[in-house]
Structure 1
Amino acid sequence: MADSARPRMLFEMHLPVRSYLPPDGVRLDLLGPSGTRSVCAYEGEARYWSIERDGARTDVAWSYPHPLSDAAEVADMICLFDEHVDVTIDGERRERPRTPWS
Protein backbone atom coordinates (compact mmCIF):
# COMPACT_ATOMS: atom_id res chain seq x y z
CA MET A 1 0.00 0.00 0.00
CA ALA A 2 2.96 2.33 0.64
CA ASP A 3 6.71 2.47 0.19
CA SER A 4 9.02 5.40 0.81
CA ALA A 5 12.63 6.15 1.59
CA ARG A 6 11.61 9.65 2.72
CA PRO A 7 9.31 9.29 5.74
CA ARG A 8 9.05 11.95 8.39
CA MET A 9 8.82 10.45 11.85
CA LEU A 10 6.59 12.17 14.39
CA PHE A 11 7.26 11.45 18.06
CA GLU A 12 4.49 12.23 20.53
CA MET A 13 4.19 11.43 24.22
CA HIS A 14 2.19 8.30 25.05
CA LEU A 15 1.58 7.47 21.37
CA PRO A 16 3.42 5.24 18.90
CA VAL A 17 5.99 6.87 16.63
CA ARG A 18 4.17 7.74 13.41
CA SER A 19 5.64 7.59 9.90
CA TYR A 20 4.33 10.31 7.59
CA LEU A 21 4.91 9.49 3.93
CA PRO A 22 4.97 11.72 0.85
CA PRO A 23 1.84 11.14 -1.28
CA ASP A 24 3.91 9.72 -4.14
CA GLY A 25 4.89 6.85 -1.81
CA VAL A 26 1.29 5.84 -1.07
CA ARG A 27 -1.04 3.86 -3.35
CA LEU A 28 -3.77 6.49 -3.38
CA ASP A 29 -5.65 4.43 -5.97
CA LEU A 30 -6.42 1.96 -3.15
CA LEU A 31 -7.70 4.65 -0.79
CA GLY A 32 -10.75 6.85 -0.86
CA PRO A 33 -11.50 10.02 1.06
CA SER A 34 -13.37 9.44 4.31
CA GLY A 35 -15.91 11.70 5.94
CA THR A 36 -14.02 11.38 9.21
CA ARG A 37 -12.40 14.52 10.58
CA SER A 38 -10.60 15.15 13.85
CA VAL A 39 -8.77 18.05 15.45
CA CYS A 40 -5.52 17.87 17.40
CA ALA A 41 -4.29 20.77 19.52
CA TYR A 42 -0.76 20.31 18.11
CA GLU A 43 -1.28 19.28 14.48
CA GLY A 44 -4.63 20.83 13.57
CA GLU A 45 -7.51 19.32 11.55
CA ALA A 46 -6.92 15.90 10.05
CA ARG A 47 -8.71 14.40 7.08
CA TYR A 48 -8.89 10.63 6.76
CA TRP A 49 -8.51 8.05 4.01
CA SER A 50 -10.32 4.72 3.97
CA ILE A 51 -10.12 1.38 2.23
CA GLU A 52 -12.87 -1.12 1.52
CA ARG A 53 -12.40 -4.21 3.65
CA ASP A 54 -14.96 -7.00 4.07
CA GLY A 55 -17.66 -4.88 2.43
CA ALA A 56 -17.18 -1.91 4.76
CA ARG A 57 -15.00 1.20 4.60
CA THR A 58 -12.29 1.40 7.27
CA ASP A 59 -10.17 4.48 7.98
CA VAL A 60 -6.52 3.46 7.52
CA ALA A 61 -4.69 6.78 7.06
CA TRP A 62 -4.85 10.50 7.71
CA SER A 63 -3.18 13.72 6.67
CA TYR A 64 -3.02 17.36 7.69
CA PRO A 65 -3.68 19.54 4.63
CA HIS A 66 -3.30 22.75 6.68
CA PRO A 67 -1.43 21.83 9.87
CA LEU A 68 -0.66 24.12 12.74
CA SER A 69 2.92 25.38 12.98
CA ASP A 70 3.98 22.49 15.28
CA ALA A 71 3.27 20.03 12.46
CA ALA A 72 4.23 22.08 9.41
CA GLU A 73 6.80 19.47 8.33
CA VAL A 74 4.08 16.84 7.78
CA ALA A 75 1.77 19.04 5.69
CA ASP A 76 0.00 16.93 3.04
CA MET A 77 1.99 13.83 3.99
CA ILE A 78 0.00 10.66 4.68
CA CYS A 79 0.23 8.57 7.82
CA LEU A 80 -1.10 5.02 7.91
CA PHE A 81 -2.53 3.61 11.12
CA ASP A 82 0.14 1.14 12.26
CA GLU A 83 -2.74 -0.49 14.13
CA HIS A 84 -4.40 -1.56 10.83
CA VAL A 85 -1.54 -2.24 8.39
CA ASP A 86 1.68 -4.25 8.40
CA VAL A 87 4.66 -1.92 8.72
CA THR A 88 8.17 -2.97 7.68
CA ILE A 89 11.12 -0.64 8.22
CA ASP A 90 14.55 -1.57 6.86
CA GLY A 91 13.37 -5.15 6.34
CA GLU A 92 12.09 -5.57 9.90
CA ARG A 93 8.37 -5.90 10.54
CA ARG A 94 7.12 -3.71 13.37
CA GLU A 95 4.69 -5.01 15.95
CA ARG A 96 1.24 -3.47 15.72
CA PRO A 97 0.69 -1.06 18.60
CA ARG A 98 -2.32 -1.30 20.89
CA THR A 99 -4.02 2.08 21.09
CA PRO A 100 -7.58 3.43 21.20
CA TRP A 101 -7.52 3.15 17.37
CA SER A 102 -6.73 -0.60 17.38
Structure 2
Amino acid sequence: MQASWNGAVIASSDDIVRVEGNAYFPAEALNPACVRPSDHRTVCGWKGEAHYYDVVVDGQVNANAAWYYPEPKQAAREIQGRVAFWKGVSVA
Protein backbone atom coordinates (compact mmCIF):
# COMPACT_ATOMS: atom_id res chain seq x y z
CA MET A 1 0.00 0.00 0.00
CA GLN A 2 0.98 3.59 -0.52
CA ALA A 3 -0.06 6.86 1.06
CA SER A 4 0.35 9.82 -1.28
CA TRP A 5 -0.49 13.50 -1.42
CA ASN A 6 0.11 16.10 -4.13
CA GLY A 7 1.92 13.52 -6.25
CA ALA A 8 4.43 12.47 -3.58
CA VAL A 9 4.56 9.08 -1.86
CA ILE A 10 4.41 9.74 1.88
CA ALA A 11 4.62 6.07 2.96
CA SER A 12 4.82 2.68 1.29
CA SER A 13 4.60 -0.80 2.84
CA ASP A 14 3.02 -4.24 2.56
CA ASP A 15 2.96 -4.45 6.38
CA ILE A 16 -0.37 -2.75 7.13
CA VAL A 17 -2.55 -3.00 10.23
CA ARG A 18 -6.18 -1.92 9.79
CA VAL A 19 -8.09 -0.40 12.69
CA GLU A 20 -11.49 1.26 12.30
CA GLY A 21 -11.03 1.35 8.52
CA ASN A 22 -7.68 3.15 8.71
CA ALA A 23 -4.46 1.68 7.32
CA TYR A 24 -1.59 2.02 9.79
CA PHE A 25 1.86 1.98 8.16
CA PRO A 26 5.06 1.13 10.04
CA ALA A 27 6.78 4.36 11.10
CA GLU A 28 9.90 3.35 9.18
CA ALA A 29 7.81 3.34 5.97
CA LEU A 30 7.40 7.14 6.19
CA ASN A 31 9.27 9.38 3.77
CA PRO A 32 10.95 11.70 6.32
CA ALA A 33 11.20 14.50 3.75
CA CYS A 34 7.38 14.65 3.63
CA VAL A 35 6.44 14.82 7.31
CA ARG A 36 7.16 17.14 10.19
CA PRO A 37 5.99 16.92 13.81
CA SER A 38 2.90 18.86 14.83
CA ASP A 39 1.96 20.01 18.33
CA HIS A 40 -1.65 18.87 17.74
CA ARG A 41 -3.01 16.14 20.05
CA THR A 42 -6.34 14.35 20.42
CA VAL A 43 -7.56 11.61 22.73
CA CYS A 44 -9.37 8.40 21.84
CA GLY A 45 -11.09 6.61 24.71
CA TRP A 46 -9.76 3.16 23.79
CA LYS A 47 -6.53 3.95 21.89
CA GLY A 48 -5.07 6.79 23.97
CA GLU A 49 -3.47 10.11 23.01
CA ALA A 50 -2.82 10.65 19.31
CA HIS A 51 0.09 12.76 18.12
CA TYR A 52 0.18 14.26 14.64
CA TYR A 53 2.46 15.07 11.73
CA ASP A 54 1.98 17.71 9.09
CA VAL A 55 2.41 16.35 5.57
CA VAL A 56 4.63 18.67 3.50
CA VAL A 57 5.11 18.39 -0.28
CA ASP A 58 6.75 21.03 -2.47
CA GLY A 59 6.22 23.70 0.18
CA GLN A 60 2.51 22.92 0.59
CA VAL A 61 1.40 21.87 4.07
CA ASN A 62 -1.45 19.51 4.93
CA ALA A 63 -1.65 20.22 8.67
CA ASN A 64 -2.16 17.27 11.00
CA ALA A 65 -2.77 14.86 8.10
CA ALA A 66 -0.98 11.92 9.74
CA TRP A 67 -1.37 10.57 13.25
CA TYR A 68 0.13 7.97 15.54
CA TYR A 69 -0.17 6.75 19.12
CA PRO A 70 3.27 6.78 20.80
CA GLU A 71 1.90 4.95 23.85
CA PRO A 72 -1.40 3.31 22.87
CA LYS A 73 -3.59 1.71 25.48
CA GLN A 74 -3.42 -2.06 25.79
CA ALA A 75 -6.44 -2.59 23.51
CA ALA A 76 -4.61 -0.81 20.67
CA ARG A 77 -1.08 -2.18 21.11
CA GLU A 78 -1.10 -3.46 17.52
CA ILE A 79 -0.77 0.12 16.21
CA GLN A 80 2.21 1.12 18.34
CA GLY A 81 4.98 2.36 16.06
CA ARG A 82 2.51 2.91 13.19
CA VAL A 83 1.12 5.94 11.37
CA ALA A 84 -2.23 6.53 9.63
CA PHE A 85 -3.43 9.30 7.29
CA TRP A 86 -6.47 11.40 6.46
CA LYS A 87 -7.32 14.93 5.17
CA GLY A 88 -6.94 14.15 1.48
CA VAL A 89 -3.98 11.79 1.70
CA SER A 90 -4.74 8.94 -0.69
CA VAL A 91 -4.18 5.43 0.68
CA ALA A 92 -4.37 2.57 -1.78
* CA deviation map 1:6-50 (0-9, x unaligned): 000103xxxxx0000101211122100001001110100010000
CA RMSD of aligned residues (A): 1.7
Percent identical across equivalent pairs? 27
How high is the TM-score relative to the length of structure 2? Answer: 0.79
Moved over 2 A (4+): 51-57
Provide the aligned length of Structure 1 versus Structure 2: 82
Structure 1: any 5+ residue segments left out of the alignment? Answer: 12-16, 89-102
Q: Where is the strand percentage greater, Structure 1 or Structure 2?
A: 2
Equivalences for 1:6-85 in 2 at 5 Å? 6-11=15-20, 17-52=21-56, 56=61, 58-81=63-86, 83-85=87-89
How high is the TM-score relative to the length of structure 1? Answer: 0.72
Task: Indicate the residue corresponding to 2:11 in structure 1.
Answer: 2
CA apart distance, 1:56? 4.8
Return the letter of the residue paired with 1:6: D
Rg comparison, structure with higher value: 1
Structure 2: any 5+ residue segments left out of the alignment? Answer: 1-9
- Higher RCO (CA-CA < 8 Å; seq separation 6+): 2
Residue 43 and residue 52 in structure 1: after superposition, are their counterparts in 2 closer, same or farther (change >3 A)? same
Q: What is the distance in 1 between the residues matched to 2:15 and 2:60?
A: 33
